[in-house]
Amino acid sequence: MKRRVRGDLAERWAERPRGRWRERWRESASLRSRLRGPAWLRLPRTRKEQRRAIQTVMALCVLALLPATWLFVSTEDRIGSVADAPRARVAVVFGAGLWKGEPSPYLAHRLDAAAELYRTDRIEVVLVTGDNSREDYDEPDAMRTYLTKHGVPDRRIVSDYAGFDTWDSCVRAKKIFGVDSAVLVSQGFHIRRAVALCDAAGVSSYGVAVDAVHDTTWYYGGAREVLAAGKAAVDAALKPDPHFLGPREPGVSRALDAPR
């Protein structure tokens, strides 16, 4: 009886549909391959693959840090405090956001530094540059109001309503307002990029790094600058036109001629 059962099983195994079995095996192998993902996502297994992966990661890190290194090297001797700032006719203050229509704490610190520069006769005119792309959002006017409340005469303040980013502000300072040299005011994590971009736009500059509390916003700004440095390098190399250029404005020259 046992021999007969074994014989029947052997006959069935010999008569099995081999083609169908092989087809199912191929389908399951293909499914396993898809579940593992593409080859470039798989973890390296051999020492050669691991060595190549490490070299690739190191190369990418170097490339990512090159623009930030350029910013530090090119601006090293032109960054300081309010007390270190050289005398200049114009100071440029970059926008840093509004809270319920009022300057954010970071922007207020920048404006305080600009007001101090004016009170100590280190500058004569303040150019406030920021975003006014919407009717309900007006950085330059909020900055002007804050400065007048802190001792800077309104006639000594000039507004740039199309400073949508740092590059736009620098290019417009040169091409629209005729600024050839200036003291730039911003936080430490941003000021190097501002100085480098203004240099590329033709504005000889010195950066005043405003003190700031090292809170979440500060750390976010510092991390963001690593990525922004790449865009800055591209802007400095290609020198694209700003989002909005427009006609030349005599605001800065008129403010310089106005009585103190």
The string of DSSP codes covering 159-225 is EETB--SHHHHHHHHHHTT---EEEEEEEHHHHHHHHHHHHHHT-EEEEEEE----SHHHHHHHHHH
Tokens of 144: 């002007």
Burial class (CB in 10 A: 0-12, 13-18, 19+), 177: buried
Q: What is the pLDDT along the chain (260 residues), one digit of tens a residue?
A: 544 545 555 565 455 555 555 566 565 655 555 545 555 556 667 776 666 766 666 655 555 566 677 777 788 889 999 999 999 999 999 999 999 899 999 999 999 999 999 999 999 999 999 999 888 899 999 999 999 999 999 999 999 999 999 999 999 999 999 999 999 999 988 999 999 999 999 999 999 999 776 666 666 666 677 777 888 888 999 999 999 988 999 999 999 998 87
Question: Contact 180/204 with Cβ under 8 angstroms?
Answer: yes
The residue length of the chain stands at 260
Contacts of 227 (CB under 8 A, 6+ apart): none
pLDDT in tens, 201-253: 999 999 999 977 666 666 666 667 777 788 888 899 999 999 998 899 999 99
Report the C-alpha gap between 195 and 94 in whole angstroms: 12
Q: What is the pTM of this model?
A: 0.75
| H/E element, 1 | none
